[in-house]
Amino acid sequence: MNSTHLASTPTTTIPEIEEFDQIRERLLSHLDGIVPRFEIELHVPKIRRIQELKVAQNAIILGHNYQVPEIFHGIADITGDSLALAREAARAETERIVFCGVHFMAETAKILNPEKRVLLSNLEAGCSLAESITAEDVRQLKAQYPGVPVVNYVNTSAAVKAESDYCCTSSNALQVVEAIDSDRILFLPDEYLTRNTQALTKKELIPWPGRCMVHEVFQASTLEAHRQQFPGIEILAHPECSPEVVAEADFTGSTSAMIDRVADSSADRVMLVTECGMSDNIRNRFPEKEFTTPCTVCPHMKRIDLDNIIEALEKDQYPIEVNPEIAQRARLALERMLEIG
């Protein structure tokens, strides 16, 4: 098994093929009281089938922190935020990478490790940020701001990445901005990530009006109300939230940085202002803490499930392909990011 332990992310270390009882026990140890027992029973044979197929197909499974618990705890060899998973994809040695996340993440894996067959089990797993901007939009901005370097969030298509000088993720946005030798940067396409990063740098960041459909709905007033109701609560927000929400939070960071912060926090109650599935994935690690989550689901992340993963492995579908010329330019922007941090 190609499990890799990432210091900042919980990694599922599982034997290659487990007995049904072992799978059941493992799921219960993570999910008892979080997922109903009858659902756990339904997952057991599917997880066993995926384990058999992974061996037969020489596949590794990467799972984003927003994936459902039966994927996160049941079948993912490696879990993490988009930066950690991009790094893992780049060094994966198996023939296949099954990406349990959304399309731009699988595309990034393919760009960074083009020899591998990267499978996404549902091609409709998209992203509202990736859909907010096209390569032509970026070309027009470059014409409008000649010579200004372009940073694109990793939540973009390969064609948009190809128009960029650098990529960034939510965990290294500020680092990338500070590493660039320019006082003005086109920082695309998440308006809120741009404004939140702008608050931390003296450089001028030129935004684009893209939004994450999950994080844009959170309101600062909800956070305030929770603080009043639960004095001592620690509030953690993803940087795709509005600056007003971020200002009301105690901590802002990527999905994995939020998990690390929960581990370090002495608060008895934490509020995760992000996709609400993440709390279920980590609740068992922190049994002494109460989790509060304003529940907003990413419908794209939830398009991946055990059934379509079985089908993907059985039928070897759906392979991610990227035009080689676009991939080459996009790889440069991604590799520059990975060198920075």
Residue given tokens 């994927």 in the structure block: 71
DSSP class of residue 109 equals H
275 in contact with ligand SF4 (CB under 6 A): yes
> Nearer to ligand 13P by C-beta: 198 or 274?
274
257 contributes a contact to ligand SF4 by CB under 6 A: no
Q: Does 102 bind ligand SF4 (CB under 6 A)?
A: yes
Query: Which residue's CB is nearer to ligand SF4, number 53 or number 259?
Result: 259
What tokens does 325 get?
């010329």
Nearer to ligand SF4 by Cβ, of 54 and 300: the residue is: 300
3-state secondary structure of 291: strand
Residue 221: C-alpha distances to residues 193, 202, 226 (Å): 20, 29, 9
Nearer to ligand 13P, 51 or 255 (CB): 255
AA identity, residue 184: R
State how far the Cα of 96 lies from the Cα of 141, in Å rounded to an integer: 37
The CB-of-135 to ligand 13P minimum distance in angstroms stands at: 20
State the binding string over 318-337 for ligand SF4 (x if CB under 6 A, else -). Answer: --------------------
SS3 (DSSP) at 120: coil
Considering the rule CB under 6 A, would residue 112 count as an interface residue with ligand SF4? no
Binding partner at 128 among ligand SF4, ligand 13P, none, C-beta below 5 to 8 Å by kind: ligand SF4
| Residue 65's binding partner out of ligand 13P, ligand SF4, none, with CB under 5 to 8 Å set by partner kind | ligand 13P
Gap between the Cα atoms of 193 and 249, Å rounded: 15
Stretch that binds ligand SF4, among 161-169, 260-268, 279-287, 297-305 (CB under 6 A): 297-305
Judge whether 308 and 122 are in contact, CB under 8 Å: yes
Question: Which residue has tokens 């055990």?
Answer: 306
Q: 44 vs 101, which CB is nearer to ligand SF4?
A: 101
Q: How many residues bind ligand SF4 (CB under 6 A)?
A: 13
Task: Give min distance, CB of 168 to ligand 13P, in A.
Answer: 10
- Asked if residue 298 binds ligand SF4 (CB under 6 A), the reply is yes
Residue 194's binding partner, choosing from ligand 13P, ligand SF4, none, with beta-carbon cut-off 5 to 8 A by kind? none
CA dist., res. 303 & res. 332, Å (int): 30
Q: Cβ 64 to ligand SF4, closest distance in Å?
A: 8
Q: Residue 192: in which H helix or E strand, if any?
A: helix 191-198
Strands (E), the chain: 59-64, 78-80, 96-100, 117-119, 150-153, 166-168, 184-188, 204-206, 234-237, 251-252, 269-273, 290-292
| Binding partner of 213, given ligand 13P, ligand SF4, none, CB within 5-8 angstroms per partner class | ligand SF4
In the list ligand SF4, ligand 13P, none, the entry touching 169 (Cβ below 5 to 8 angstroms by class) is ligand 13P
> What's the closest the beta carbon of residue 23 comes to ligand 13P, in angstroms?
27
- When asked if residue 84 is in the footprint of ligand SF4 (CB under 6 A), the reply is no
334 binds, among ligand SF4, ligand 13P, none (CB under 5 to 8 A by kind): none
In the complex with ligand SF4, the residue whose CB is nearer, 22 or 293, is 293
Cβ partners under 8 Å of residue 115, min gap 6: none
Whether cis (ω within 30° of 0) applies to the bond prior to 145 is no
* Identity of residue 190: D
Contact mark string toward ligand SF4, 207..236, x via CB under 6 A: -----xxx----------------------
- Which residues are at the interface with ligand 13P (CB under 6 A)? 65, 81-83, 155, 169-170, 212, 238, 240, 254-255
Structure tokens at 36: 């109903």
150-153 β-sheet, strand order: 166-168, 150-153, 184-188, 204-206
Task: Give the span between the Cα atoms of 64 and 102, in whole angstroms.
Answer: 9
